[in-house]
Structures are given as C-alpha cells and as structure tokens.
Structure 1
Amino acid sequence: MNHHIIQMDYKTLTSETRGLKEHFHNGYEIIFITEGESNFTINDNIYTYGENSLLFLNNLEKHKMDLISTPYSRYMIIVDSDYLDNIIKEHILLSIFKNRTSKYKKGFNIKEEHLDFINKTLDDLINIFSKESEFWQIEFMSMLSILLVFLYRNYTDQFPISRIDKKEQRILDIQHFIDENFRKDISLDSIASEFFISKYYLSHSFKDVTGFTIKQYILLKRISYAKNQLYFTDNSVTDIAMDCGFNSQSSFIRTFGEKEGITPLQFRKYYRANND
C-alpha cells in the first residue's frame, strides 16, 4: 500500500450517505464545512459543527463523523504529521495540531469577512493537488503555510499556544525529543535525566503545555506508529511491536487492544478492507 504524504478532496454527502465511519490516517487533518451539519465523535466525545466550521484533528485522535443535515459539503486535507512538522517547524503554528490543552476547542467558525479568502485558498490547494505539476508538493505546502499564518493572525485565541516563554520552550523541546525518540526505551525518568529537570516538575508542566501526560504521549505516539505499520506494511506483529518501542509482543497486543478495542491483526484486516 502507498503512504500518501498529502491527501485532499472536496465532497458533498447526501441524506443517503451514512456518514464517515471511524477511519485510519496517520496525519494531521483539516476539515472545512461549507454546508450542512454533522456530529464528530473524537476520543469518545461528541462535537457538533456546521457551515463555515474549521476543524483540526491529529493522528493521535480516533474520530468519526455522523450527518445531522444534508447536503453536507466539506474540504478535507490530510498531511503526514512528520512531513508537516519538518516543513513548518514553528511550535505556535503546529500547536493547533499537536497540543491539546484545556483551551483547545477542536474547531471554530470562520468569520464572514474571511470566507472568500478561505474558500479561494482551499480551491487553489485542491487545484494544485489535482494537477500534480512539477514541484507541486512545495507549492502546496507553501500555500498551506500561508493559510496557517492567516488563521493564527486572525484567530490567535483558537491556537493552544499563542506565545512561548522559557518554560514552554523547554517543554516543547521535550515534546520534539519524544517525537524523535518514542521508538526507543524512554520514560519520564530518562527524559527528566536527559534534560536535567525534576521529573515531578516535568510531569506537571508537560501536561499543562501539551494536554498529555508524558506516559500518555509516548504511548499514543507508539500506537499511532504501529497503526501506520499495520496498515501500510506486511511486517509481523512481533516486528512491529519491537520497532514501536514495546518490550514484548504480548505487551503490544494487550496495550493496542486496550486503546483500540481490537487486536493489531484485526485492525489491519478491518481498515485495509474499509478505508477509502
């Protein structure tokens, strides 16, 4: 199976469409609803969004969509998380994908005076994606970066992080360290030692800044990477367990089942058969 770095489409769903089942992708997702209304179930919580709503979802969140009113039309962009992290490299802009503090609201409404810009930008992006001309990925990411900057300037309060002080910078550096090393044998104790910081201070500060505990974030990163391997490769469960940082196949299968409700092999079979 091919691992697509960038995906984008525009769809209109009717009353005959059942909705969007819980699905798999290992990237950051942007959804802009142009008409209709739907419920999004995100990590077992239900949120209702309608016309002119813009949503940001990350690869650590399970989600599905159920229609409330039709016709329902929306733009959808999915970009590989590692790819976008390496392109943007600005913690504040990335926070809308990566950080889930108490102030984060999943989605928000676009003001009337900004709709023309948002719609035109999304139309241009889908045109770039559809044509796939030379260096289209660079053009696509340049325009997506412009969109994110525009949103930050006009909707600053919707971003989990709007400014970075010394404390936050240190925690964000630690978050980046985990992103780069979650497949290794790392823990709260080892990270605290690596950054010469009290593990108690680290534990509380990491939760405040990112919305996750250290243990939770490492585990979610490992599970996300494992799902990517299960879907896109034919590697054995044992090899995937070891590659993701689990100390045994049994620990991986048990933890995966607790988080996903199915075994790794059931995940591979189901999503390969049902993911569009």
Structure 2
Amino acid sequence: MKRKAFSPHDDVYIQYLRNMEKHDMPVQHYHDGYEIFLMLGGKRYLFYDNICFTLERGDMAVLRPFDIHYAQSRDAEYYERFVLNFSETALSALLSREELRLLREKLVPCVVHLNEEQTELMLDFFKRVNGYFEKSGFLSEKLQHTALIQLVMYVVECTQGEQTVGGRQIPAQIRTALTYINQHYRDNPGLEEIAGACNVNKYHLCHTFKEITGATVLEYLNNVRLSKAHSLLMDTGYSMEEIARETGFSSSLNLTRVFKKAYGMAPTQFRKRKESMR
C-alpha cells in the first residue's frame, strides 16, 4: 500500500464502516478539511495531539484541517464507526462569510464522549447526510448542504463545555521528539539532532517512535513539513521559494519533488486547482 501523508477528499466525504478485522492506518495523515469521527461499537485507538485516545461507543473526535492523526486497532478485533470529511466550501453555499467565521471559532478540535441519547441522535444526522449524498435530482444539492449544516451545528452543541475523553500521555521522550519536530521543522533537523534533543539513542528513539505513533521519525517530520506547505499554498500568496523556506525544504525544486510524490501534482498545479474550486 502506498504511504501518503495527505488523504484528499471531495468537498464532502462520508463513510460508514463495520470492520471485523484488525486494521492500522498505513501512515499518519491529514486532510484539507474537517473530520468528524463517531464511534459506534468496538474499540479504536486514536493518536492525536500527543495523546493516545481509546475510542469506544459514543466517543466522537473533531479534527481541524491539517491536523495530523493516526488510528490503529492494537488489541481490538472489531470496530464500527461513521466518518465525515468536509471543507468550508461545502458550507459556503448556505452560510455567509461571517457565519463561516463564527462556525470556525466554535468547531474546535476535541475528543468527547456522548451519552446514548446524543449518540443515537448524532447517528441519525450521519445517516441523513449519507442518504442525501447518495441521491441526485431536484433540490438534492440544497438538501445535502442543509443536512450537513444541521449535523455540524449539533456537533458544536455536543462539544460545548463537554469533558474530553481520557487518553494516556505518550512517553516523555516521544512528546519531546514531537515538540522538537513541530518547533524546528523549518530547520529540517536530522535524526541525530532529534534524538539528541530527547537524550536517547537514535535507534531506541526510532523503535519507540514508530511503535507509538505509527510513523518513523523522518516520516513524521516530512508529514509536518508537507502539511505546513499545503496550508500555505491554500491560504497565502507566497511564492514557491518562500513556501520552501518556511517549511524546511532546501529549494523550491525540492519542495516540488516531494509535494508531487505525495500528492500526484506539482504545488503550482495544486494551488490553481484549489483556486478554481472556490
């Protein structure tokens, strides 16, 4: 399976899955839109924001665009979930810029537990969105966007002031490595430098980092650099040279090579395609 840091979707992607076998993501990844993950049964382990969350029925994760995350089965043989990915473009058909800004402030990243009544109602919203996006015809697009906005607003309602699901902190040396990478990715640090910052042997760091996060140290570093480059392409008018400098690539040519390998197109092509969709 090809390992990619970026998992692209259309403006809206929704999927129900009941998996009776163990399954680990091939690599940590991110999306260019929001993700809402609703756990319906079994158990799933989510690595996000330096914490490993154990997700069971009623647990819901809300992730922002470009948030790097990773999920795995570990000891669990079964899990059932709904997942929804959507961009702000999907909401802009019915919401004004000011409404989108307010929603952005309220749709905060978190992992929360819903009670059974909330879980069933949230499931109904997911099913409704899924049903509308499987249909076409008269007013189907307006119904799709209306159902999506209703789901998102209920997510906001359920996450306001709720207690975060408990997760276990990852080992201190891995937290140090993640923090160091997130702070110094512009400098493109090497494995020896990262291990030195953690005061551990690089071989021990490599083994533990992969076991905990699902990615090698250098894969994670590259994922961070790519996610930052991706965000700058979408949200700024920076030149390729400026983006390369801001994200730790040695040159715009190096940025283009790595970006094209990950996304299947040059960054300039990617920017043009995104601009044409707005």
Return the TM-score normalized by structure 2.
0.55
Work out the CA distance in 1 between the residues paired with 2:72 and 2:39.
13
Match of 1:268 in 2: 260
**1:126, CA displacement in angstroms?**
0.9
- 1:215-253 C-alpha deviation (Å, 9 max, x unpaired): xxxxx8863253x6xxxxxxxxxxxxxx9432551x322
> Contact (CA 8 Å) 1:34, 1:52: kept in 2 or not?
yes
Work out the CA distance in 2 between the residues paired with 1:62 and 1:264.
21
1:136 aligns with 2:133: no
> Contact (CA 8 Å) 2:59, 2:114: kept in 1 or not?
yes
Match of 2:91 in 1: 84
Match of 2:231 in 1: 224
Following TM superposition, where does structure 1 have runs of at least 4 consecutive aligned residues deviating by more than 6 angstroms?
none
Match of 2:81 in 1: 74
1:63 aligns with 2:91: no
Work out the CA distance in 2 between the residues paired with 1:61 and 1:264.
22
Closer/same/farther in 2, CA of residues 73 and 144 from structure 1, 3 Å limit: same
> Contact (CA 8 Å) 1:85, 1:94: kept in 2 or not?
no
Match of 2:151 in 1: 147
> Contact (CA 8 Å) 1:11, 1:75: kept in 2 or not?
yes
Work out the CA distance in 1 between the residues paired with 2:232 and 2:240.
16
> Contact (CA 8 Å) 1:15, 1:71: kept in 2 or not?
yes
Match of 2:247 in 1: 256
Closer/same/farther in 2, CA of residues 22 and 135 from structure 1, 3 Å limit: farther
1:95 aligns with 2:99: no
Q: Which runs of 5+ in 1 are unaligned?
A: 160-219, 229-242
**1:158, CA displacement in angstroms?**
4.1
- 1:120-174 C-alpha deviation (Å, 9 max, x unpaired): 2211211111223443332122122223333444543149xxxxxxxxxxxxxxx
Q: Which runs of 5+ in 2 are unaligned?
A: 1-7, 164-226, 266-278
Give the length in aligned residue pairs.
188
1:22 aligns with 2:28: yes
- Aligned partner letter, 2:238: F
- Aligned partner letter, 2:150: I
Match of 2:185 in 1: none
Match of 2:183 in 1: none
> Contact (CA 8 Å) 2:18, 2:80: kept in 1 or not?
yes
Closer/same/farther in 2, CA of residues 3 and 57 from structure 1, 3 Å limit: closer
Q: 3-state SS of the aligned residue for 1:115? A: helix
**1:111, CA displacement in angstroms?**
0.8
Closer/same/farther in 2, CA of residues 134 and 46 from structure 1, 3 Å limit: farther
Measured on the aligned residues, the alpha-carbon RMSD in Å equals 3.5
Closer/same/farther in 2, CA of residues 148 and 248 from structure 1, 3 Å limit: closer
1:246 aligns with 2:252: no
Structure 1 counterpart of 2:47, from 33, 41, 51: 41
Identity %: 17
**1:77, CA displacement in angstroms?**
1.0
- 1:239-271 C-alpha deviation (Å, 9 max, x unpaired): xxxx9432551x32243347xxx9443233234
- Aligned partner letter, 1:132: S
Closer/same/farther in 2, CA of residues 152 and 44 from structure 1, 3 Å limit: closer
**1:10, CA displacement in angstroms?**
0.9
Q: What does residue range 71-220 of structure 1 map to in structure 2 within 5 Å? A: 71-84=78-91, 87-88=94-95, 89=99, 91-97=101-107, 99=108, 106-158=110-162
- 1:80-123 C-alpha deviation (Å, 9 max, x unpaired): 134436644155543343x5xxxx6x111111122322222211
Closer/same/farther in 2, CA of residues 272 and 247 from structure 1, 3 Å limit: closer
Closer/same/farther in 2, CA of residues 79 and 31 from structure 1, 3 Å limit: same
- Aligned partner letter, 2:67: E
